[in-house]
Amino acid sequence: MSRHKIAAVLSNYIPEATVDECTSWIIQKNIHLKITKGRASKFGDYKPLEKGKGHHISVNHDLNKYAFLITFVHEVAHLHTYTKYPFRHEPHGKEWKNEFRNLLGNFVVRRVFPEDISNALTSYLRNPAATSCSDHNLFRTLKKYDLKESGEEVFHLEELSTNSKFALYQSRSGMIFQKGEKMRTRYRCLELTTKRHYFVSGLAEVTRVENP
């Protein structure tokens, strides 16, 4: 794919000010970028391909442009870490944290993010975690920029009252839960069919189920 075509695709998913640099990364680092359907379990992933064949990165298509960029940079940081320390690093250890902090910090300094996201990222980058979901302030801030195209009314679990019935947004499991008591940042929820309990993050995106 030509540079022009790569840039044209990326412009649909990330802030315009970052398209040129991200396009260069894809070409120079031989990244095979796959834009996937929404996945409830992850926003993106990285894996090295056979020697000489580059690197595979996937990112969910339904992330807003700021979340998409952060996820893409997260995975490029994995690429850098693998290239520099192929057998001597933890998946989200200090080597990855340094790479991610440097890459994303550059975009923060260039003010490609709105002020509220930039402020949340500044705090998050002091000790970045495996996923932006781990930082509740950043996660909430990013979610303000989401546009739900399905027409469904989507909530964070913490917004529902106790005993409300719900399904996980974008999950295809068909599982219906009843919200229970709060345990720190998670809620103990009963799955109505199996009668098993699950601990679900208060920031999980859910849809209300009125008559399961």
The pLDDT tens digits of the residues spanning 145-201 come to: 886 555 567 788 988 999 999 999 878 889 999 999 999 889 999 999 999 999 998
Q: Structurally, how many domains does the chain consist of?
A: 2
Same structural domain, 83 and 127? yes
The pLDDT tens digits of the residues spanning 57-77 come to: 999 998 999 999 999 999 999
pLDDT score, position 145: 85
Enter the pTM of the model.
Answer: 0.75
- Residue 63 forms part of a structural domain: yes
Residue range(s) defining the domain that contains residue 192: 155-208
CA 129-71-112 angle, to 5 degrees, is 105
Q: Given the structure tokens 């398209």, which residue do they identify?
A: 19
Q: Is pLDDT at 138 greater than 60 in this prediction?
A: yes
Same structural domain, 81 and 8? yes
- Residue 148 forms part of a structural domain: no
The pLDDT tens digits of the residues spanning 12-66 come to: 999 999 999 999 999 999 999 999 988 877 899 999 999 889 999 999 998 999 9
Q: Given the structure tokens 């970045």, which residue do they identify?
A: 128
Residue 155: count other Cβ atoms within 10 Å of its Cβ.
Answer: 16
- Dig out the tokens for 81 from the structure: 């870490």
Same structural domain, 42 and 135? yes
Average pLDDT over residues 103-132: 92
The pLDDT tens digits of the residues spanning 184-195 come to: 889 999 999 999
Residues in the chain: 212
CB 15 within 8 A of CB 112: yes
Q: Given the structure tokens 């500044």, which residue do they identify?
A: 122
How far apart, in Å, do the first and last CA atoms of the chain sit?
47
Same structural domain, 170 and 82? no
pLDDT score, position 143: 85
- Residue 115 forms part of a structural domain: yes
pLDDT score, position 1: 83
Q: Which of 143, 105, 146 is nearest to 124 (CA)?
A: 105
Same structural domain, 136 and 184? no
How would residue 135 be classed by pLDDT, with cut points 50, 70 and 90? confident
The DSSP result for the chain, as a single string, is: --HHHHHHHHTTTS-GGGHHHHHHHHHHTTEEEEEEPP-SS-SEEEEE-STTS-EEEEEETTS-HHHHHHHHHHHHHHHHHHHH-TTS--TTSHHHHHHHHHHHHHHHHTT-S-HHHHHHHHHHTTS--SSGGGSHHHHHHHHTT----S----EEGGGSPTT-EEEETT--S---EE---EETTEEEEEETTT--EEEEETT-EEEE-S--
